[in-house]
Chain A
């Protein structure tokens, strides 16, 4: 990345993740670069299976044993990928907290919510039992769970879908991390509570300088909260830049198609326009641009030569041969 790396809180460079599977090697993440400054919010968007969750997990080496990670993850002058497991354990949860994608499976079904929050507080704070209880109540309240005191004794199955997700957020925030990796933290939430949670994250972001990587498929959420956005496709970052640039003037055909596949509140009950076709198989080598088979703007060159991740506008980069045409089309419209 071009930005001065010293200012970054987290700097991911040329990250590759390969899974050894029965079908062969799966290249789930293929050369990803990201950086987050303190107090900055980075959105990570992309289709299902594009490698967003794997990227987040790779940062903290939380992948299954069949994964091979290469590249560099710079955190306060250290490369997390080279750190001994023990040092990393101190960083996980304390400095860098994660909210996992599936609150149903990330919470322990047989332990009460209160105890699960307490475990995080025991591990990462110096509070005594009474202080931890107070803090746990406060955290549940912060994430918008009503009657928090009575809810502490509840078990995950007694919480609604959205309440489980908020409990997960409370657990992650218990340690007051410097960086929060949030994987689809608001999918199960309605707009008003989503709004409240996002405002809470933004407040921690602004006031405490907590860095935030927000993985989501809701482009609206990115538009509302993020400073910068990186769009992933088939394990690569295909476009990145300030949110207002990328969303109003996308320079990658995939970003463009993604923005068009959303309901716009216009013609009611008209079919939506999903991107046709399937993402490419990751266990095969990909020639040219990985989006080419589904792309409306494809040209001959796309299928043979991989487009470079080039600067397309100030502070905006995209890896697409059609970026000029996208720019031109905009000028006309």
Chain B
């Protein structure tokens, strides 16, 4: 692999996707005792008003605590879940109302790569059949050209062409993940949403898959929404990041800027918690403390206040909006100032 830097030039500012106030709740199962006791139906508040913009050709990294709603967001964007409220626009057009043919056409443009390389491929379809199916259903190529195109897709993800005749269980995790990427690419999407595409892979295979994404983005001009909990990785590959906490975006901005001067206390805690490879730096650091947030009973006011080291009385009652607050990028914290106090900087 050559050492060329694949960083694209300045990304066009045009938003390709906008998400506005997305809400999704899942009702909890009720036990008989709950029903008899007349207790109210409880629900998991997986997304409580998520707003985002994604620009054409960029990589948006989405990070946040386990269970904060990242996968739910991804599934809403590709229409696997129906959100309760809010809007998703793709190239200016509303997405959530799409049905039948229009919905399938949308999915041609917005594809998803799944987290689990073991579960996301049908065990009874050979790799060639799985790719050919995606090509023929959408009539991307027809007849004899299908086989050729399958070969090209395999080339694109650096798999040997004879992989077409093999079945998923004959591949390692990294190879399967590449098959999943090839399948998503088969329908020629303009946006790929990748939900933790590398967290099940070991470092060196991870590097192969990450490089593949960078290379594909460069060659095909893809827009990438990259969900991960690996901050080192997200810093490495994304232009901008969105930090989620308990079903909300709490900070979003240019990756490098946010990493060098995070403005939300949660972002700061997150960045401080990244394990260091140098064992001499074994930290006496303190991860985020305090009562755990529950999406079943989200706290009033700022969702982070029960764990926030700098919370003030208003944080307990007033929900902070995601607005610039005089700084260069929006942040949902009452105490975030226009310029960051030096002690804020990690």
Contacts and interface: CB of A to CB of B under 8 A. Distances in A.
Q: Do chains A and B touch in the complex (CB under 8 A)?
A: yes
Interface of A: 46-49, 102, 104-105, 141, 144-147, 150, 153-155, 158, 160-163, 166, 184, 187-196, 199, 217-221, 223-224, 243-244, 247-248, 257-259, 261-265, 267-276
Of the listed residues B29, B63, B67, B237, the one surrounded by the most CB atoms of chain A closer than 10 A to its CB is B67
Contacts of A220: 232, 274-277
Contacts of A264: 232
B196 interface: yes
B297 A147 contact: yes
B329 to A, nearest CB: 17
Nearest to B288: A192
Interface in B203-246: 203-208, 210-211, 214-215, 229, 231-233, 235-237
Q: Which of B119, B173, B206 has the most CB of A within 10 A?
A: B206
A283 to B, nearest CB: 13
A190 B200 CA distance: 13
Given A47-B204, A268-B236, A188 B118 contact: no
B208 to A, nearest CB: 5
Nearest to B115: A161
Contacts of A262: 203, 207, 232, 277
B294 interface: yes
B304 to A, nearest CB: 12
A141 B273 CA distance: 21
Nearest to A254: B204
A268 B279 contact: no
A214 B44 CA distance: 32
Q: Is the interface of B mostly helix, strand, loop or mixed?
A: loop
A260 to B, nearest CB: 10
Interface centre among A155, A217, A263, A267 (most CB of B within 10 A): A263
Interface residues of B, number: 71
Contacts of B115: 161, 188
B278 interface: yes
A48 B282 contact: no
B141 interface: no
A274 B287 CA distance: 30
Interface stretch (B1-9, B103-111, B149-157, B310-318): B1-9
B270 A191 contact: yes
16 contacts: A46-B202, A146-B296, A150-B42, A158-B26, A160-B66, A160-B72, A190-B64, A192-B287, A193-B65, A199-B287, A257-B204, A265-B232, A268-B235, A270-B6, A271-B5, A272-B210
B118 A263 contact: no
Contacts of A275: 204
B31 interface: yes
B28 A48 contact: no
B275 A187 contact: no
B251 to A, nearest CB: 15
Nearest to B170: A23
A273 B42 CA distance: 48
A183 B94 CA distance: 44
Given A247-B278, A263-B232, A269-B214, 15 more contacts: A146-B294, A160-B72, A161-B116, A166-B66, A190-B270, A191-B275, A217-B206, A218-B203, A218-B275, A224-B275, A224-B279, A259-B277, A270-B6, A271-B214, A271-B215
Interface in B143-202: 172-174, 196, 199-202
A196 B287 contact: yes
Nearest to B118: A102
Nearest 4 Cβ contacts at the A-B interface:
A162-B66, A146-B294, A220-B275, A217-B202
Given A153-B28, A191-B273, A247 B279 contact: yes
Given A146-B293, A191-B275, A265-B236, A161 B207 contact: no
